[in-house]
Amino acid sequence: MKIELEKVLPAEIEKRSFEIITEELQGRVFLEDQELIIKRVIHTTADFEYADNLKFSEGAVSKAIEAIKSGACIVTDTQMAKAGINKKSLAKHGGEVYCFMSDDDVALEAKELGTTRATASMNKAARLEKDVIFAIGNAPTALVHLYELINEHKITPKLIIGVPVGFVNVVPSKELIMKTDIPYIVAKGRKGGSNVAAAICNALLYMINNER
């Protein structure tokens, strides 16, 4: 068997990938501001299910872009998502990325309250005196606690990217977020992940940069 490699210049690989994704979506139409996010998530996962799974509250993308331009920070529940988000691009607008999961005070609070560290890290995020976009790629308990904090008027996120992955309470945690009046981008079902959370953040950032 001859293995053939396609000749593509390094700088052209991403462009060619998006062309292939567009071809395979066979003319499917998305809302303009959602399209780049959906395609970037497919680019990150090679999983076309996201064309159906990703759900956006009305105006979520434009609200998120507005928040980032006004200096909103991003709080995520994994070091992997933090590593994957384009922090230079966010810093241009004054924002930074936080992940509190490895913080000693979060570990201590989780132990004392008998919760997950993800839950405790949402409490820490609620004490930030900043506009916050949440990018949750791992822990459904983070989403569940965000829902509680929102209902208790302790937090008003600018956007919730709700894409935890897994088998225990992942599906209902996303449904809870879709019941709030907070702007959201959610991957319905079990799928998601830190890579998906980072891809959505980066898609938003790249949309802002191209806009200039």
Closest CA to 161 of 179, 145, 143: 143
Give the torsion through C-alpha atoms of 165, 168, 174, 176, to 10 deg. Answer: -160
Name which of residues 188 to 207 contact a copy of itself (CB under 8 A).
Answer: 189-195, 198
Letters for 119-158 (x = contact with a copy of itself by CB under 8 A, - = none) are: ----------------------x--x--------------
The residue range among 28-36, 38-46, 67-75, 203-211 that interacts with a copy of itself, by the rule CB under 8 A, is 38-46
Alpha carbon distance 170, 179 (integer Å): 15
Residue 27 interacting with a copy of itself (CB under 8 A): no
CA 205 from chain center: how many Å?
A: 12
The H or E element containing residue 99 is: strand 97-99
Rounded-to-integer distance, Cα 189 and Cα 178, Å: 12
Query: Minimum CB separation from a copy of itself for residue 33, in Å?
Result: 23
Q: Is 43 a catalytic residue?
A: yes
Task: Name the residues that contact a copy of itself, by CB under 8 A.
Answer: 1, 3-6, 8-10, 13, 16-17, 20-21, 43-47, 78-84, 110, 114-116, 141, 144, 165-170, 172-173, 175-176, 179, 189-195, 198
Residues assigned a catalytic role: 43
